[in-house]
A and B are shown apart, each in its own frame.
Chain A
Amino acid sequence: MTQQYLLEMRDITKVFPGVKALDNVEFKIKSGTVHSLMGENGAGKSTLMKILIGIHPPTNGKITYKNKEVVFENTNKALNMGISMIHQELSPVLHRTIMENIWLGREPVKGPLRLVDHKKMYNMTKELLKDLDLDIDPKEKMANLTVAKMQMIEIAKAVSYNSEVVIMDEPTSALTDREVEHLFRIIERLKNQGKAIIYISHKMDEIFRISDEITVLRDGQYIGTYLAQELDTNKLISLMVGRQLDEMFPKVECEIGDIRLEVKNLAVEGVFKDVSFILRKGEILGLAGLVGAGRTEVIETIFGMRNKTSGEVYIDGRKVKINSPEDAIKNKMALLTEDRRHTGIFPMLSVKDNTVIANINKYVKGNGLLDHKLIKGDCEKYKDAIRVKTPSIDQLIQNLSGGNQQKVLVARWLLTDPDILILDEPTRGIDVGAKAEIHSLISELAGQGKSIIMISSELPEVLGMSDRVMVMYDGRMTGIVDRKDASQEVIMKYATGSM
């Protein structure tokens, strides 16, 4: 059966000063289908979507929507014509309620003075949330919601526009498995209502579970559109990167030495309790668990960002007191945080300044001034060593892709020559190629005798990289599994508290 396309983008080209972001790209979607848009970071997915919703005008190309050629000058116009986008980074008005957020800018009004009709707004919201199986009070403040719930509200908002086309950019990055299931049920329902869903994600299993069609972009080029059943993970990855990734997790077996870090009965009241583990030289300890299990909180406490209620930390057999990240760094620890934007990069500073900030003491000369030559030398060295793609170290870090920003942050911590390297979701939101490079870097570091704790929500990553896996569930440690005994099933059992 041939079906009309709801939306067609043809010959889309976008040139930014100095860069051709998109080159004759094509994208078509039918009503009632889920169409995934795939590609490494920097492939042009976001740019294409920004053109679709009217943030950027295309340099060239045509958009046909409902059989009519359209031009969206701004997002409002796209929104009113039925195209909405759920962005990867949410921007709710935190101190207002859910209903005020959903109807922001189009509040129902009553009377000659056009006062806001709060009652109507409440009822409309209630109905909307009920329709999506969301059991939340419309009068709840956004700030009180978890990120996952906010994401759901954002989806509810898109639905409230009666959009025909809903674009979801990495909607599951902050969701637990259960919430992901919920989201997929919502997607299924939207699909049955005849909506078209454009889905962007790095998670392969999700892509194959929900997609009808997949369009692949690479370096701004259109690679092709495929039926989901024609592809599998390996084929898709090779289309995205243009090469076969034969070794996803290049785990190097290396000698595991003496105990470096010992954590005893660590607890933070109301967050987690009774966390005890040891970490040896050259070992990679995976830290698995569902979102909200307390993994990030544990390592933040070890790193001095939170105050512990009880427990002790020993490094090389010596009891240490760590009350701030400054103390942690002095004890040769490093923490690559989960949230690159919030606690990682300094967007307006150069790659160079971003690289040296955690190790700035090294560059203070006898006269109190900084040794710029040494700074430059070190930055260049690390830039080359871990293959940061940037025109120069003076480039602002905000102009780099996510994967390259992450590499700069890795360089920042390597410069401090840490003994204990804590990595919180080190490959989140970065593309497949950069991911593999970061994995091999982690293995290499363990080979040099560094002790590594790696939090990851991707089980294959945890299993592929770790010597041992520690699993948390609901603020407690439920198990530590050796590499040889670890499997997705075992870890999932611990992570869901069923063992």
Chain B
Amino acid sequence: MNVDKTKKIISKYGIYFVFIIMVIGMSLASPVFLTGRNLMNVIRQVSVIGMISLGVTLVIISKGIDLSSGSVLAVAAVVAASLGQRGNWHAKMFPNLPELPIIVPLLAALAIGLICGAINGTLIAKTGIPAFIATLGMMVSARGLALLYTDGRPVSSLTESYQYIGQGYILGIPVPVIIYLTMVLVTWVLLNHTKFGKNIYAIGGNIHAAEVSGVNVQRNLIKIYAYAGLLAGLAGMVLSARVNTGQPGMGVSYELDAIAATTIGGTSHSGGIGTIGGAFVGALILGVLNNGLNLLGVSAYWQQIIKGGIIVGAVIIDMRKNAKKK
């Protein structure tokens, strides 16, 4: 019985064990790894991808996909940055614009993310085109929009309060980390403690049964993609604040990293299965991997190869776990 129970726990929390083993392995391999500063660094590095992957998790649980996150991030970043430039900067996008309070660019970033996501969701819900296609369209168009808006140039020299969002600390903790952890908590509550969350699992688990059970599938789909867009917008704000510039070429392929984090975290692409805890650990695993391999001096090229292997390996293990249940 104990063996059975242990097996069950290992299979249920497998990804957490993998994470712990990775941390132990890395700390044995490099003395720098397990320092508070380095660990904080890891979380800060994953915070942007991590935020995106929270929304992507909801999307994938509903049996969808979102390829537009990286481009939406870029649009949000350049628009927010254009509203957050220093008053005395000579190359301002809007020369007559006074220095605005931080809330303005922040709300702009969130609104842009929300709108792009809502467009994704509406297309999918109302026209019935596959999520892959709808969000692929958004991925291409939003990137174009970001280039059009900036004329292909970076938007730099941001106000101090803007930079604070990406570079500041509260009680020694980087602000991006605080934002990320807050969103982890918010999304966790959303998924586990609200009607919306239950509906997401139902739609991904069996869309026909969901409909018959009175779930408004269309409205929920729009909400799911809108939320994912919102998080991409927020990630755009944080990223531009961290690097002190909004660039139209930002966030390329971030959607894939986010999907990878979600997938490593055990969210199933066949819908109905997935957790926020998993998405969080999935993002951390990617972070630890990057960081650890950097500390060990492994080349960036090798890192790519290893990362790809881990994504595929994680899914193979997960599929086995689910297959065994049958």
Q: Which residues of A contact B (CB under 8 A)?
A: 17-18, 303, 305, 324-326, 328-329, 335, 337, 342-349, 353, 356-358, 360-361, 363-364, 368-370, 372, 396, 398-399, 412
Contact = CB atoms under 8 A, between A and B. Distances in A.
Interface in B194-248: 194-195, 198-199, 201-202, 205-206, 208-216
B214 A325 contact: yes
Classify chain B: how many residues form its interface, as a range. Answer: 20 to 34
Contacts of A344: 206, 209, 212
A361 B205 contact: no
A346 B199 contact: no
9 contacts: A305-B211, A325-B213, A343-B211, A346-B272, A348-B268, A357-B199, A357-B213, A360-B195, A363-B195
A129 B149 CA distance: 64
B273 A348 contact: yes
Contacts of B213: 325, 357-358, 412
Contacts of A18: 4
A349 B205 contact: yes
**Which among B4, B194, B195, B268 has the greatest number of chain A C-beta atoms within 10 A?**
B195
Nearest to A356: B198
Q: Is the interface of B mostly helix, strand, loop or mixed?
A: helix
Contacts of A303: 212
B201 A353 contact: yes
Interface of B: 4, 189, 193-195, 198-199, 201-202, 205-206, 208-216, 268, 272-273, 325-326
Contacts of B268: 348
A325 B199 contact: no
A317 to B, nearest CB: 24
B212 A325 contact: yes
Contacts of B214: 324-326, 328-329, 358
A297 to B, nearest CB: 14
B193 A343 contact: no
A18 B209 CA distance: 31
B212 A305 contact: yes
**Which among A326, A361, A364, A372 has the greatest number of chain B C-beta atoms within 10 A?**
A326
6 closest Cβ pairs, A-B complex = A346-B205, A329-B214, A358-B213, A348-B272, A343-B208, A369-B193
A145 to B, nearest CB: 21
A326 B212 contact: no
B198 A353 contact: yes
B85 to A, nearest CB: 37
A360 B198 contact: yes
Contacts of B201: 346, 349, 353
Given A346-B272, A369-B194, A396-B325, A17 B4 contact: yes
Given A344-B209, A369-B193, A324 B216 contact: yes
Contacts of A360: 195, 198-199
B193 A325 contact: no
A127 to B, nearest CB: 38
Given A369-B194, A370-B198, A345 B209 contact: yes
**Which among A305, A335, A370 has the greatest number of chain B C-beta atoms within 10 A?**
A370
B213 to A, nearest CB: 4
Contact of A342 (B194, B208, B273): B208
A161 B212 CA distance: 40
A335 B209 CA distance: 11
A324 B325 CA distance: 35
Contacts of B202: 346, 349, 353, 357
